[in-house]
């Protein structure tokens, strides 16, 4: 094993409430709602994080290039290091490297940018993996087609919904993950290591089911922005702001339903 | 991220335009030095071969290593979403070969490699060195040392991986090997030295080995941070310096691929918070930088990338070096280890080592008494240490069960490894998946052995609390009544908690009423029994409290943890669910206004005498 730095939760009232709920063994829904309330202020600031908007801009640039008539040439023109024989891993790796370079160039590297990069890569692997029989040994053209099919029209809406849901899940886990290992063992919230894993799965599922952004929202916005040639950081930040507002409303609705 | 920190390096006085308050001065040139460099065991003749660029590299790497420890990273709660973890350094460095260091490609390779390694931003301003250290300031020459014509340079830490690399190289080849060790602390020195003496004796290879220990440290009062993420740059630079003077084009790190990849064990561990010491991208960056510096193809290789830790131990056993395992050191807390020099047993390195030993059934070669805390049975009293052990075991178990989609979805950082490997990404992705799956299965196998060998302990209910075994099993004797004590209550299909009434009818007895049926149950049968005291436990008392209060405990947020600990409620929930085999939660979610409320009816027979 290498070295790891393990951090702790902020000592705010809301995170203390989350810890109390965790101690009490409250159901996963209650914890997710409480974690969302505790993380809400930070989440609302995400669209202003320069690292996040740079990553989102790279995402749309990736989507845009893949929709063009000559996707490989357009990807390369936009700084994605891919070639004729690129595998699915090369495409996703190319996106990750381009997103990192963009954040470095703007001196905007941040944990938020990294969470966004990880979230989109996760969604790409998942969506392409569902289209393909296997992740390994896939022809380059098939890998590209699998990516393209999920990044245009209605599927783009689903992909971006998945992106925001995954980002929200990763953001909440970025915090909650610091506390959960302290609650494993006899008489604790999770009696065993496996129970901790099971909780993670249930938590992720709940968050993803709660975050619902209308599938038409992204394709509509993206089509319009692309048409009007205004995929600027400011526009992208505005788009993200609306998306996170919708996520907040969904969690609020979740609170009302469970309450 | 705060403002950049200026690092003024070298013996020259700090220029006036720098603020004394905001600048850290480092100097490795005696006699007013606060960074100390000493390379031992080098033949005088060898030093004559030292080109100035090699001395530059040793100094630059030493300054970066020392500077890394002079500036604190953000606090433990990651304020500002972790921005303080990333620092910004502006280094002002004197060098002998100014033209080389000012080359834009050299600077770019240096900056990007260090950034990936440490997560920090770097800027470099090189200047021509006026006063430089003499060679003998840095090298302790051994006058009697004959010329050593090396065929290979490898970095030797004194851990299992470097021992395996050495043993395999000696067994399968006939060349001479220079072993470079960085010794940050005296404890490491004696360990490395005696291990190599034992190895040379065991394999009759003394004439084939040259150990070059290097001391690089700084004045203690400069230390503000102990993460040392740039340490492997120093280590690699020392190896490369030795390789260069021996006219070799490679230096070798031996590190298993799980440690090299070092995928995150928790969603909060982002970037270099999981160290990237020998990450393939790091080694690729080193190779690029050193090739540019020396203007010839140079590579830093890790031949063990496709091995797990358990595979590494298997290699040691296969090479006949089993008896040396006990003399290796893996613990990351060398400085803070106990006076007996034992491994701490709970840092990530110790946990990985111990599980790999168990996976090879090599416990006899790695005695338990070498550990301060002995996994899996010793209690791990410190919360942070228990959390570390739990996360390492959890992530390994998950690797054992993972699918390719899950591995690359949950760990997208694994994708970044692929482009730095020599094998095509499509193929190396499969190999990397298999490596992690194999590691997970080896750890699961080791854990299975632990459980099997602890059968009697488990049966007796004597599993120590807060031990790794207890975290794997997930049961404590107090919580789990023996099977024959379980009542046989069969609830009508569709029964919900609201259909159930629990009436406390005695000091350790209750009646369960469902529909028109009534069942007697003791505290022991319900699982609320303290086996040691042979009395109802505090969870039973909590149930009685609920009964006396009519099913609602008005406990405010501020006082809720005083009388009843939150985990008591959790244990009550778990106990009742197990006892009556109902999936639903027997309590309503905690409400700060109402407190805790049962979903079932609960009564208290007032004739009960205390």
Q: pLDDT (tens digit, 9 = 90+) per residue, A10-57?
A: 989 999 999 999 888 888 999 999 999 999 999 999 999 999 999 999
Nearest to B354 by CA among B369, B372, B336, B366: B366
pLDDT of the residue at B349: 94
Nearest to A132 by CA among B435, B429, B306: B429
B414 vs B493: which has the higher pLDDT: B414
CA B382/CA B466 separation, integer angstroms:
9
CA B508/CA B485 separation, integer angstroms:
14
CA B572/CA A27 separation, integer angstroms:
14
Phi, psi (deg, nearest 5) at residue B540: -65, -45
Nearest to B257 by CA among B306, B297, B208, B299: B306
pLDDT band at A233 (very low <50, low <70, confident <90, very high): confident
CA B129/CA B8 separation, integer angstroms:
13
The answer to whether residue A27 neighbours chain B at the CB level (below 8 Å) is yes
Q: Which of B119, B426, B528, B555 to mutate to test the interface with A (most CBs of A within 10 A)?
A: B426
Residues 6+ apart with CB under 8 A from A50: A106, A108, A110, A233
CB contact under 8 A, B474 and A137: no
The answer to whether residue A25 neighbours chain B at the CB level (below 8 Å) is yes
Nearest to B261 by CA among B469, B435, B448, B514: B435
pLDDT (tens digit per residue) in B495-511: 899 999 999 887 888 88
CA A46/CA A108 separation, integer angstroms:
13
Exposure letters B73-97 (e unless 16+ CB within 10 A, then b): bbeeebeebbbebbbebbbbbbbbb
How many Å lie between the alpha carbon of A238 and the closest alpha carbon of chain B? 21
Give the chain B residue whose CA is nearest to the CA of A125.
Answer: B409
pLDDT at B525 over 90: no
pLDDT at B558 over 70: no
Nearest to A7 by CA among B83, B282, B468: B83
B44 vs B286: which has the higher pLDDT: B286
Q: Please calculate the CA angle A199-A203-A206 and round it to the nearest 5 degrees.
A: 140
pLDDT of the residue at B560: 46
The answer to whether residue A1 neighbours chain B at the CB level (below 8 Å) is yes
Which chain B residues are within 8 Å of A49, Cβ to Cβ?
A: 81
What mean pLDDT comes out for the span B334-361?
Answer: 85
DSSP H or E segment with residue A113:
helix A111-131
Residues 68-87 (A) with a CB less than 8 A from some CB of B: 81, 87
CA A217/CA A154 separation, integer angstroms:
10
Name the average pLDDT for chain A.
Answer: 90
Which residue in the set B425, B479, B590 is minimally distant from A26, CB to CB?
B590
pLDDT at B610 over 70: no
pLDDT of the residue at A256: 60
pTM of the complete model: 0.85
What mean pLDDT comes out for the span B478-482?
Answer: 47
pLDDT of the residue at A231: 73
The answer to whether residue A197 neighbours chain B at the CB level (below 8 Å) is yes
Q: Please calculate the CA angle B439-B441-B442 and round it to the nearest 5 degrees.
A: 65
pLDDT of the residue at B480: 46
Neighbours of A20 (CB within 10 A): 17
pLDDT of the residue at B556: 64
CB contact under 8 A, B397 and A194: yes
CB contact under 8 A, B566 and A24: yes
Neighbours of B326 (CB within 10 A): 14
pLDDT (tens digit per residue) in B83-93: 889 999 999 99
Q: Which CATH code, of 3.50.30.30, 3.40.50.620, 3.40.50.300, 3.30.300.130, is assigned to B5-329?
A: 3.40.50.620
CA B36/CA B56 separation, integer angstroms:
15
pLDDT of the residue at B477: 44
Intervals of CATH 3.40.50.620 along chain B = 5-329
Which chain A residues are within 8 Å of B573, Cβ to Cβ?
A: 25
CB B528 within 8 A of CB B545: no
CB contact under 8 A, A111 and B83: yes
CA quadruple B162, B165, B171, B174: dihedral sign: negative
Q: What is the β-pairing status of strands B139-141 and B35-42?
A: parallel
How many Å lie between the alpha carbon of B514 and the closest alpha carbon of chain A? 25
CA B118/CA B260 separation, integer angstroms:
15
Nearest to B447 by CA among B399, B387, B410, B402: B399
Which chain B residues are within 8 Å of A4, Cβ to Cβ?
A: 262, 264-266, 269, 273-275, 348, 388, 391
Q: What is the β-pairing status of strands B177-182 and B209-218?
A: parallel
Query: What are the residues facing B213 on neighbouring strands?
Result: B181
Q: Is the peptide bond before B397 cis (omega within 30 degrees of 0)?
A: no
Which residue in the set B82, B397, B425 is minimally distant from A93, CB to CB?
B425
Give the chain B residue whose CA is nearest to the CA of A19.
Answer: B566
CB contact under 8 A, B227 and A186: no
pLDDT of the residue at A254: 67
CB B486 within 8 A of CB B525: yes
The answer to whether residue A182 neighbours chain B at the CB level (below 8 Å) is yes
The answer to whether residue A195 neighbours chain B at the CB level (below 8 Å) is yes
Burial tier of A212 (Cβ tally within 10 Å: 0-12, 13-18, 19+): middle
- The residue whose two tokens read 């049926």 is B517
What are the C-alpha distances in Å from A115 to residues A174, A223, B418?
9, 25, 20
CB contact under 8 A, B429 and A178: no
pLDDT at A142 over 90: yes
pLDDT band at B574 (very low <50, low <70, confident <90, very high): confident
Residue B547, CA atoms < 13 Å, CB-side half-sphere: 22
Which residue in the set B388, B397, B418 is minimally distant from A6, CB to CB?
B388
Q: Please calculate the CA angle B104-B105-B106 and round it to the nearest 5 degrees.
A: 90
What are the C-alpha distances in Å from B249 to residues B48, B103, B154, B261, B428?
19, 21, 12, 24, 25
CB contact under 8 A, A192 and B471: yes
pLDDT at B1 over 90: no
Nearest to B41 by CA among B172, B192, B247: B192
Nearest to B311 by CA among B263, B259, B388, B241: B259
Which residue in the set A111, A137, A191 is minimally distant from B474, CB to CB?
A191
CB B101 within 8 A of CB A35: no
Q: What is the β-pairing status of strands B509-514 and B517-522?
A: antiparallel
pLDDT at A212 over 80: no
Which chain A residues are within 8 Å of B305, Cβ to Cβ?
A: none
pLDDT at A258 over 90: no
Which chain B residues are within 8 Å of A81, Cβ to Cβ?
A: 419
Token code pair at residue B429: 């992705």
pLDDT at B588 over 50: yes
CB contact under 8 A, B267 and A182: no
pLDDT (tens digit per residue) in B306-344: 999 999 999 999 999 999 999 999 888 765 556 667 899
CB contact under 8 A, B430 and A136: yes
């Amino acid at each position: 094993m290498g070295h790891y730095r393990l951090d702790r939760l902020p000592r705010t009232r809301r995170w203390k409430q989350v810890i109390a709920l965790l101690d009490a063994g409250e159901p996963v829904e209650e914890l997710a709602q409480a974690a969302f309330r505790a993380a809400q202020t930070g989440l609302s600031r995400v669209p202003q994080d320069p690292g996040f908007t740079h990553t989102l801009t790279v995402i749309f640039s990736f989507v845009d290039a893949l929709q063009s008539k000559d996707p490989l040439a357009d990807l390369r023109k936009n700084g994605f290091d891919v070639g004729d024989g690129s595998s699915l891993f090369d495409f996703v790796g190319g996106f990750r490297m381009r997103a990192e370079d963009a954040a470095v160039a703007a001196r905007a590297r941040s944990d938020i940018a990294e969470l966004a990069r990880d979230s989109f890569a996760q969604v790409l692997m998942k969506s392409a993996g569902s289209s393909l029989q296997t992740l390994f040994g896939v022809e380059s053209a098939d890998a590209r087609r699998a990516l393209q099919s999920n990044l245009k029209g209605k599927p783009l809406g689903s992909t971006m919904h998945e992106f925001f849901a995954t980002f929200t899940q990763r953001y909440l886990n970025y915090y909650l993950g610091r506390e959960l290992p302290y609650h494993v063992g006899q008489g604790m919230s999770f009696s065993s290591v496996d129970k901790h894993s099971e909780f993670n799965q249930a938590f992720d599922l709940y968050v993803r089911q709660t975050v619902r952004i209308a599938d038409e929202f992204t394709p509509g916005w993206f089509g319009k922005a692309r048409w009007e040639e205004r995929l600027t950081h400011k526009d992208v930040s505005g788009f993200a702001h609306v998306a996170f507002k919708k996520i907040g409303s969904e969690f609020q609705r979740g609170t009302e339903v469970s309450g | 991220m705060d403002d950049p920190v200026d690092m003024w390096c070298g013996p020259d006085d700090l220029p006036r335009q720098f603020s004394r308050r905001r600048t850290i001065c480092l100097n490795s040139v005696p006699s007013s030095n606060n960074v100390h460099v000493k390379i031992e065991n080098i033949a005088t003749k060898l030093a004559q071969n030292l080109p100035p660029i090699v001395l530059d590299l040793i100094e630059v790497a030493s300054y970066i290593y020392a500077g890394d420890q002079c500036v604190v990273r953000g606090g433990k709660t990651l304020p500002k979403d972790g921005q303080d973890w990333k620092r910004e350094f502006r280094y002002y460095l004197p060098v002998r070969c100014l033209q080389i260091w000012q080359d834009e490609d050299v600077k770019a390779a240096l900056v990007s490699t260090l950034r990936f390694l440490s997560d920090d931003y770097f800027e470099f301003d090189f200047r021509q060195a006026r006063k430089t250290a003499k060679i003998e300031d840095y090298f302790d020459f051994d006058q009697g040392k004959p010329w050593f014509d090396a065929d290979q340079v490898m970095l030797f830490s004194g851990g299992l991986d470097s021992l395996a690399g050495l043993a395999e190289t000696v067994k399968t080849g006939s060349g001479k090997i220079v072993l470079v060790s960085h010794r940050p602390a005296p404890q490491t020195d004696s360990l490395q030295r005696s291990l190599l003496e034992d190895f040379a004796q065991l394999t009759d290879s003394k004439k084939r080995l040259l150990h070059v220990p290097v001391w690089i440290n700084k004045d203690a009062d400069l230390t503000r941070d102990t993460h040392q993420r740039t340490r492997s740059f120093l280590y690699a630079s020392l190896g490369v310096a030795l390789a260069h003077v021996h006219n070799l084009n490679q230096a070798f790190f031996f590190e298993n691929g799980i440690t090299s990849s070092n995928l995150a064990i928790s969603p909060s561990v982002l970037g270099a918070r999981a160290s990237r010491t020998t990450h393939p991208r790091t080694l690729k960056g080193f190779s690029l930088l050193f090739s540019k510096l020396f203007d010839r193809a140079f590579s830093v290789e890790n031949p063990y990338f496709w091995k797990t830790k358990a595979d590494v131990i298997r290699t040691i056993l296969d090479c006949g070096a089993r008896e040396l395992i006990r003399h290796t050191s893996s613990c990351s807390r060398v400085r803070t280890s106990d006076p007996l020099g034992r491994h701490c047993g709970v840092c990530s390195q110790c946990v990985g080592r111990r599980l790999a030993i168990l996976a090879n059934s090599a416990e006899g070669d790695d005695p338990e008494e070498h550990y301060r805390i002995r996994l899996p049975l010793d209690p791990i009293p410190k919360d942070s240490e228990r959390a570390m052990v739990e996360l390492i075991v959890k992530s390994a178990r998950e690797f054992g069960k993972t699918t390719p989609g899950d591995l690359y979805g949950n760990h997208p950082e694994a994708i970044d490894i692929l482009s730095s490997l020599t094998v095509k990404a499509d193929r190396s992705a499969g190999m990397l998946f298999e490596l992690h799956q194999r590691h997970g299965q080896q750890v699961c196998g080791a854990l299975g052995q632990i459980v099997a060998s602890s059968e009697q302990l488990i049966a007796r209910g004597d599993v120590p609390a807060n031990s790794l075994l207890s975290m794997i099993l997930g049961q404590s004797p107090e919580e789990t009544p023996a099977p024959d004590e379980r009542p046989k209550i069969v609830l009508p299909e569709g029964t919900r908690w609201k259909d159930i009434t629990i009436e406390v009818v005695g000091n350790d007895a209750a009646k369960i009423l469902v529909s028109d049926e009534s069942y007697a149950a003791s505290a022991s049968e319900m699982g609320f029994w303290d086996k040691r005291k042979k009395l109802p436990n505090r969870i039973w008392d909590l149930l009685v409290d609920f009964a006396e209060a009519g099913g609602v405990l008005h406990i405010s947020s501020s006082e809720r943890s005083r009388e009843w600990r939150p985990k008591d409620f959790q244990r009550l929930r778990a106990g009742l669910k197990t006892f009556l085999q109902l999936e639903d939660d027997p309590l309503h979610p905690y409400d700060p206004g109402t407190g805790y409320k049962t979903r079932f009816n609960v009564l208290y027979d007032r004739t009960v005498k205390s």
